[in-house]
Amino acid sequence: MSKKRRMFDIDLPEDSGPDVTETFPAGKVPGEKDPAPMPRRGPMAAAISETAESNRERQEIEARIRAENDALAHEHVRLKRLGLVVELVPLDQIEMVKLVRDRKKGPDQELAELKASIDELGLSNPIRLESRGDGRFELVQGYRRLTAFRELLADTGDADRFGTVPAVVSPAGDEIGALYRKMVDENLVRKDISFAEMALLALDYAADPRIGNTDPDKAVALLFKSAGYQKRSYIRTFIRVVEGLGRNLHFVEEIPRALGVALARRLDDDQGFPAAVRTALKGWDNRSVADEIGVLRRLVGQGAEDAPVPAAPPVGAAPARPAKARTSFQFDRREGRARCVAAVGKLEIQLDRDFTTIDRRRLEQAVRLMLDQLDG
């Protein structure tokens, strides 16, 4: 049986000669050899590659974070050394043994106002401490603020509010003289610190065996370097008063400047003057500040009994003006530090507050009540 061949008619394009444009598959260039086929990447290889890329990105991020943390840590240490970092320090970790405080002993009449301000508004000015090797801290500045916190804790028992105090902590390493200077420079701005208190501090500083300086005059020059020459001169004057009479007096810190100068002159001129003061005050243990100051004024000729009789002024001469008495004090309020100056015919209050915003009638009533209380 013969097999039949099936024939198909296929129309082929006619050859149009060498000018016919030859076509190639997409992506190929005439004359270019076929590139080697790319190896096909499996799912595992793709996952490994993606993981490695992710690890590299994470390592770069972690390196940037570490660099930022290191920079922040260095900046924190720098600011802490400059005293610009505030911490909350427990009260029971603060000592006051390294420095002799320049605050006079006895009740502080303005401490109640400071406590009320802290209780209402908190502490706006942190204390300054020096860290110790045993994990505790030494007070450098802020005796009254620390005392106020301790009394508030004892009064209220609220350890959450008053168990810690805002403080600037500096690392150990400052010499004892530098610590005294920091304490003194802060207190020089206080108006209520007396010349006798500053003289006592200079004497204590000179007697400190860690200082190696036994000359009180040099102690004044070192401690009160920021003060003016006249103020340092008065402090040296009061050193003579404290050394000559301090053991006989209960209120040496209350001696005003003019009386202190007169006492120093009497001490220089009369070797028996300390004995006269001791005799005048003997057995008078319950005397007040006014009593003691009155005796001292009388002994130097400023009292009524021994005061010299003034000569009659010449005819036509203008009457002599009395010496201007003046009293100044400061206290803390929520607006800041208030300063009051009282003089003959004048009472001045300085405070960072715009009093013109207060209603005139309300302001007048407040002033009237204040004057009425002063009269009562």
Q: What pLDDT, on the 0 to 100 scale, is given for residue 277?
A: 93
Residues with Cβ < 8 Å from 165, sequence gap 6 or more?
88, 89, 91, 94, 123, 126, 127, 145, 146, 149
Contact 242, 199 (CB under 8 A): yes
Contact 318, 311 (CB under 8 A): no
Is pTM, for the whole model, over 0.95?
A: no
Q: How far apart are CA 145 and CA 331, in angstroms?
A: 12
Contact 267, 240 (CB under 8 A): yes
**SS3 of residue 321 by DSSP:** coil
Query: What does the pLDDT average to over 145-160?
Result: 91
Q: How far apart are CA 168 and CA 131, in angstroms?
A: 10
Reported as type and span, the H/E element at residue 234 is helix 229-245
Tens of pLDDT, residues 280-311: 998 888 888 889 999 999 999 886 444 333 34
| pLDDT over 90 percentage in the chain | 18
Domain range list for the chain: 62-189, 194-306, 326-375
Q: In the CATH hierarchy, which top-level class contains the domain 62-189?
A: alpha beta
Tens of pLDDT, residues 311-354: 444 444 444 444 344 566 677 777 777 777 776 677 878 777 77
Tens of pLDDT, residues 47-72: 777 787 788 888 888 888 888 888 77
Q: What pLDDT, on the 0 to 100 scale, is given for residue 112?
A: 83
